[in-house]
Every structure is written in structure tokens, then in C-alpha cells.
Structure 1
């Protein structure tokens, strides 16, 4: 199991798959890097881990420079993918591998072993170059035995145009929404839950902005910075309780105990919010077309409001009451059928 280290979303949505693999008598080996690897080590300390070469994906401080930065970084990314393939070859030689599951890691596959690619981005939003980025991504996907799309194939879905295309050359399987959480009825302890994640420096920029704005918020706030560090730290700043990170079980508990959520419009967060039927305010990562598209989609569907990072003001949170929020439409994933590939 190899999730991309780009924020925490790819790692956290792999958690239910890892648990299912264990349930079906597989022994997962986890391979990643950075905070994604750190998080999964905390969740599954008994498993075997390998560190893969890092893509080192970061955002520029100015959102409109993101595509240019990716273009400049492309030779380094291609080199990393080649190193990733060599690392996978070494793991295959040293371990008894029945199958490979890659969540958006392009080089994690093997020609002699069934290899699966997980993505909700069959169409990769990149502004005027969407057609090109989508074609390149689909070409990569076609090299895998199967592509598991964590969404529904029906008219009700979470990814919209991102995860639904007309394609005969990709072996697609819509597996349903992936969430590590389960809803339960608990008393509300926090009026607002803030959950941050995503690449730097934009994560820190938003953290600083929100802590300034939310000091005037009327109600108890739980603020999770999304920084995976060696020790969990907690501090109080007036009515704001601040954690550097939480485990999945802790986060599930506080999400169920929170009235509303403020977070990025990342796809993994959306799957979690839908599973828990939460009301939310979105702030897309600047320059990330996917998150901007999803935020607009859910506003249009009257599910959740959003605003850009630089325009966020405290009073905008009052808009949440005019939206219906998410409702749990999840179905049980047929892991037995999925794992039959291996």
C-alpha cells in the first residue's frame, strides 16, 4: 500500500483499505514518505514500512505560480518516479508480494504483480491545460491492471467531472466513498472544528490567518493544525483548543462532537464529511484547481459555502446556515471482490 505524500488525504483514505486487507488475511506492507508515512506508522505500528523517494511537492506562496513551478519541477519528478520504480523492484525481491496498491504514486507498480492505481482524478483540472494534464494522467493510469475510483458511478457522486469520463481504455472500478470514520450520536462539545492539511507553505499561511480571525468567534473551537510530529501537543488560546495532530480515532470522535467544520475542499475531507453528514465551510488551497472546482460544485448543489483563502473573514461563517450540508449516502465497499485481483 503506497499513498502519495501530498498533505494527509492520500494516507488517511488508505486507512480503511489497510484495515480491510488485514481483515481478509493479507499482511499489508506500507510504503510512502514524509508525513504520510509518519501518520500511517502511528496508525499501524505493527506493520512493516518502507520509505520511498519523496516527490517533495510544495506550493509557491503566490497561487498563480503553481503551474510554472510544476513545469520547472517536472525533470526532478520524473527522476523521482524512476527511483520509485527501482525501490519497488527491491521491495518485490525481498518480500512476498501478492499485489500492489498505489494511491497516486506513478512509479509504484510492477509488470509481474497485479497493480492497482487509486485516484478520483481521471480528469486533472489545470485551467487551460486541463486536456493535456488529463491525457497524461490517463496514460499513466492505463499502465496499471485496474484503477479504483473512490466514488459512485451514479448521478449522485462526490467527484463530479473529476472522476467521471467516457473511457474504454481504462479498467475502471467505482468502489464507493472511502472514509476511515463512522457516524455516532454524541453531544456537541465544539461549535467549530478547524482541520488543516495540505502542502506547505499554504498550510501555515492559512493557520496563521485563521488563528487571527477566529479569536473573535463566539463559541468553543477545536483547532487541529495537521502537523504530524513525534509527540501530540495541546495548548489553549482563550476559547480555542489547539492540537498539532490527532489520530484517526480521536479525529472521528471530535468530528462527531462538532457542530460545523472548517477545512480545505480536499477530496478525502469531502468523503469524511459526507460519511458523517456534516455542515462545513470550505477554503480551497490557492492554485489547486481540483479543490476550487469541488468547492464550487458543492456550493452550486447548496451543500456548502466557500471562499478563497485571501478573502476569508469571520462573518462569512454565518453563511453555513443557508446550506443543507452533507448527508450520508455511503454504501459498503465489496472488498472481497476488489481483492480477488490478488
Structure 2
């Protein structure tokens, strides 16, 4: 019997977006006859354990990325943490060497993990940030990211290549740094023709303490909202918990299948403007309201860009009021159809 080729798939543990957008890639690897090995840390690893319990899971060194309570200090916190992040990257490189030897891995797919690569094995870097927006330091942050990307064999961008795309200037360069392939707007979800049950769905994720700060604000605002609400906190815990508060049903987390159904059954979605969320909602053709994470320039750019295009309204976290949801009816919503040729992508392995 011929052994299935083993591919290491390693998403960054920064919110849930990196791990969730790896789900369709992991499933495609299985469908194409590969044997994925999943490696990450924290909630990203816990989520993928729940999605693929039969696969091998390995823990990687943690970057321990958190946000400051005030968005304006986020950039300075990242700079302050830079020495620790570089140390973690070196630890990752060593851990990957061990995993390659232990499992006879023949290919690596890293979603934004700088140290998950190997000089003797095809190594892919997934990112939608070919330009890293950071205000006055955009030139520096972009150049730093390019230096990371150059250490890989290929770069995969989860977006369309042409002018009609979702990431704007984030995911498109006039001159690619290394061989770059566009996956299309991949998503773990599929659109279903289901009856609308929820007037509003809140879908949270992202690093602390900002996730909790938005959660508390929204629960306060929704206490006087006369509509049926599904509230998913985005907290990965050992057991799924469900709580009901009058018109609001609260989950700590949902699996991909549960989320797919719930999103299809919801009229409007309130969430961060993280890029993976944008991909998911575009695949499902949803109307939404975006509240970007304070200080995260990428999310702020995406939210404003999509608002400018007349697709999704947005506002700052500190300014959100429940009446802002009335603006959604004046926007088109998200929609994007495309197919990904995984067979061609995986031919590198």
C-alpha cells in the first residue's frame, strides 16, 4: 500500500481567522490523497482539533500576541514584543526540523507563521498582506514582511488576482516578491437556501482584551434590541455552552458546520472586519456591519474600503450604537463566487 504524503499545515494563533481559513485547505489535502499534520498553539490548535479530531496535532511555540486596551498603543506593543517574537521564530524553526524528521513530512503550508519552513522541503507562506499597513511605519512593516516571505518557496494569497477582489492594495503588488498564486476567496462555508431564523448574528473572534471589550459593549447595546439575536462569543472551550437571555441566544463557540448553518439562517452579521470573516461572508452573500479592532490598521482599511464600495457599513468600536444597524439596509452586502484549483496548487508536493 502506497503511503500518503504528509503535509504540515500551521496557522498562526492570532484570533481564529488564520486557523479557520486553513480548514478548506486541510480538507482539500485530504480529498487529494495527502495526510495533513496540523501544528499550531492556543485556541487555533484547539479549534482545528475539534474540526479534524482524527488527524495528528502538534503544538508549536506560542507568540503570545495580545492587544493593548487602547488601540493607539497596539503598534508600540508589537514593537516592544519584537525580540520575543523573533525568539519564538527560531524556536519554531527547530520544532519544524523535529517534525519533518519524525513524520517524514514532504511539504509545508504556513499561514503567517514566520518560522514554519524548511530549506529542503517545499514551503508555502499564506498571507493576504503583501503590503502591511501600519500608518507612518507602513514602509518598514511591509519591507520586514517581504523579508519573511522571501524565505519561502511560494506565496499563496486567499483572494482573486484581478481588479475585482476583496483585499485591495493589501493583497496585490505590481511586482511579486516570490512566485505568488491567488487561491480565490476561499472559505470553509457554502451558501445554503435556508429560512432566516435570526434577525441578527454577532460573530466575535480575535485576541484579548479587545474581544471581551467588544463582547461586553454589544451585549449592553443589544439588551434593548427588539429582535431575535444569535451571539457567538468566539471562545474555544472544552465544552460548548449555550445561554439564553430573553431575545439573545449565546454560544461560547460553534463548529464549522454549526456556523455555516447559523450564518445562512441570519439576516445580518455583526463582526470584526478580519479578512477571513470578509472571505466567509462574501462566499455566503451576507449583509453585515463591521467593527474593526481598534489599532489594527488592516481591519480599519478593509472596513473603510468595503464601506466606500457601498458593500458594508462600519464604525469605530467606541462609537457603536445599536441604531447604527439601520444603515445596513442602504448597503449591497458581500458576494463573491470563485473556484480554487487545489490539484494544481498541491502539485508542488
Give 1:206's aligned residue. 214
Q: Which of 297, 303, 307 is the matching residue for 1:289?
A: 297
In 2: Cα distance, 1:60 partner to 1:4 partner? 19
1:245 matched to 2:253? The reply is yes
**Whole-angstrom CA distance in 2 between matches of 1:31 and 1:330:** 30
* Aligned residue in 1 for 2:6: none
CA drift of 1:169 comes to 3.2
Out of 305, 328, 339, the position equivalent to 1:332 is 339
**Alpha-carbon distance, 1:330 to partner:** 2.2
From 113, 116, 119, the equivalent of 2:121 is 113
Answer yes or no: is the 8 Å Cα contact 2:241–2:252 preserved in 1.
yes
What is the correspondence of 1:15-164 to structure 2 with a 5 Å cutoff? 15-164=23-172
Stretches of structure 1 lacking an aligned partner (at least 5 in a row):
none
Q: In structure 1, how many angstroms separate the alpha carbons of the residues matched to 2:58 and 2:272?
A: 29
Q: RMSD value over aligned CA atoms?
A: 0.6
Counterparts of 1:225 and 1:166, CA distance in 2: 39
CA distance in 2, matches of 1:237, 1:256: 22
Aligned partners of 1:115, 1:271: CA distance in 2, in Å? 24
Aligned partners of 2:119, 2:235: CA distance in 1, in Å?
Answer: 36
Instruction: Find the aligned partners of 1:134 and 1:283 in 2 and give their Cα distance.
Output: 24
**Could you list the runs of 4 or more consecutive aligned residues of structure 1 that deviate by over 3 angstroms after TM superposition?**
none
- Per the normalisation by structure 2, the TM-score is 0.97
Distance 2:161 2:261 in 1: 30
Structure 2 counterpart SS, 1:284: coil
* Offset from partner CA, 1:109-134 (integer Å, 9 cap, x none): 00000000000000001000001100
Pairwise CA distance, 1:96 = 1.4
Indicate if the aligned counterparts of 2:146 and 2:177 stay in contact, CA closer than 8 A. no
Alignment of 1:180-259 (within 5 A): 180-259=188-267
Instruction: Tell me, in whole angstroms, the C-alpha distance in 1 between the residues paired with 2:311 and 2:76.
Output: 33
Residue 308 in structure 1 maps to residue 283 in structure 2? no
- The TM-score normalised by the length of structure 1 is 0.99
Q: 1:178: Cα distance to partner?
A: 1.2
* Structure 1 residue 98: Cα displacement: 1.4
Aligned length: 341
